[in-house]
Structure 1
Amino acid sequence: MRYSGTFKVQNFKPRDLKPMPEVTTALPVGVTTFDKTYEGEIEGRSSTIFVAAYDPAKGGTYIAMESFEGALSGKKGAFNFWHAATTSGKDRSGENFNIVPGSGTGALAGINGSGSIVIDADGTHRVFFEAEGV
Structure 2
Amino acid sequence: MTQTATGTFTVEMTPQPDADVVDGVTLGRMALSKQFSGDFSGTGKGQMLTAMTAEDGSAGYVAIERLTGSLHGHRGGFVLQHRGTMDRGARSLSIRIVPDSGTGELAGITGSFELDIREGVHHYTLHYRLPGH
Shift of the alpha carbon at 1:55? 5.3
Q: 1:25 to 1:79 in 2, by over 3 A?
A: farther
Unmatched runs of 5 consecutive residues or more in structure 2:
none
Paired residues for 1:44-123 under 5 Å: 44-54=42-52, 58-59=56-57, 60-87=59-86, 93-120=91-118, 122-123=119-120
Q: 1:128 to 1:72 in 2, by over 3 A?
A: same
Kept after mapping to 2: 8 A contact 1:58/1:88: no
Query: In the aligned structure 1, how far is the partner of 2:54 from the partner of 2:97?
Result: 28
Unmatched runs of 5 consecutive residues or more in structure 1:
none
Residue in 2 aligned with 1:131? 128
Query: In the aligned structure 1, how far is the partner of 2:125 from the partner of 2:54?
Result: 26
Shift of the alpha carbon at 1:84? 2.0
Is 1:9 aligned to residue 11 of structure 2?
yes
Query: In the aligned structure 2, how far is the partner of 1:92 from the partner of 1:125?
Result: 18
Q: Deviations over 1:15-58 (max 9, x none)?
A: 1245xxx6824320100102000000011001020111125972
Paired residue secondary structure (2:22): coil
Query: In the aligned structure 1, how far is the partner of 2:90 from the partner of 2:71?
Result: 25
Paired residue secondary structure (2:108): coil
TM-score calculated relative to the size of structure 1 = 0.84
Q: How many residues align?
A: 128
Kept after mapping to 2: 8 A contact 1:85/1:92: no
* More strand, by proportion: 2
TM-score calculated relative to the size of structure 2 = 0.84
Point out the more displaced range, 38-47 or 26-35: 26-35
Query: In the aligned structure 2, how far is the partner of 1:34 from the partner of 1:56?
Result: 24
